[in-house]
Amino acid sequence: MAPLSVRDFEIHSENFSPKHQRRLVEALRHCLKQAPLFQPVTPRGTPMSVRMSAAGTYGWISDRTGYRYEPVHPSGQAWPAIPEVLLDMWRSLVPQARLPECCLINWYDETAKMGMHQDRDEADMTQPVVSVSLGDEALFRMGNQTRGGKTESIWLRSGDVVVMTGSARTAYHGIDRIRPNSSALLPNGGRINLTLRVVT
């Protein structure tokens, strides 16, 4: 089936079988032993509802000092390597791109959400972002280059892979809510979202 495509935004729903998704969750558990989830605060000091960690050369951090990419976890330890299965996926979906330097790991409980924002802390905005959703479904909202402009909402399901290139790469987007108990992948429920990015 052709991927659903809205401008430079594609959703691929058939990359990860349930078995592949379970393997990926195992690989992520391994990453999170080395780099445990933490709760970031915004520069204004408000705790984010999403828990975060990362794999790769850089992880994305938010604290009272601001937003930035860091080569180490808040513990001072290096981030774990990006699981090979994710690098394989990246190479097959965006073969022309540089390799990702960050795999941000976002964990949502049933009350978590993410406000509308742009991803713009990366140096080369011509490089794509690829995301993988695992576990409970999430209501994803895609806008355009202006905050408050027209938006479109789509439910992201476990195993969905979203590729953002071109104008979609700099568009506003967010997660309005999670649909609790909509997936059996994670034994305690919730949602994991992975975003692979080129940082430098």
Residue ranges binding ligand MD3 (CB under 6 A): 104, 106, 114, 119, 129, 131, 138, 140, 162, 164, 168-169, 171, 173, 175, 193, 195
Contact of residue 175 among ligand MD3, Fe ion, none (CB under 5-8 Å per partner type): ligand MD3
CA distances from 186 to 6, 19, 107, 124 (A): 29, 13, 11, 34
Query: 80 or 178, CB closer to ligand MD3?
Result: 178
Contact of residue 55 among Fe ion, ligand MD3, none (CB under 5-8 Å per partner type): none
Smallest gap from Cβ 167 to ligand MD3, in A, equals: 10
Residues 54/104, Cβ–Cβ less than 8 Å: yes
Query: 23 or 67, CB closer to ligand MD3?
Result: 67
What is the size of the binding site for Fe ion (CB under 5 A)? 1
Where does this chain touch Fe ion (CB under 5 A) — which range of 45-53, 67-75, 83-91, 119-127? Answer: 119-127
Smallest gap from Cβ 77 to ligand MD3, in A, equals: 21
Query: 80 or 161, CB closer to ligand MD3?
Result: 161
Contact of residue 192 among Fe ion, ligand MD3, none (CB under 5-8 Å per partner type): none
Q: Please state, in angstroms and rounded to a whole number, the distance separating the CA atoms of residues 58 and 197.
A: 10
CA distances from 83 to 24, 74, 155, 156, 186 (A): 8, 21, 26, 22, 18
Q: Both tokens of residue 67?
A: 């937003």
Among 119, 125, 139, 157, binds Fe ion (CB under 5 A): 119
Answer yes or no whether residue 110 interacts with Fe ion by CB under 5 A.
no
| Of 59, 64, 98, 86, the residue nearest 75 (C-alpha) | 59
Contact positions vs Fe ion (CB under 5 A) = 119
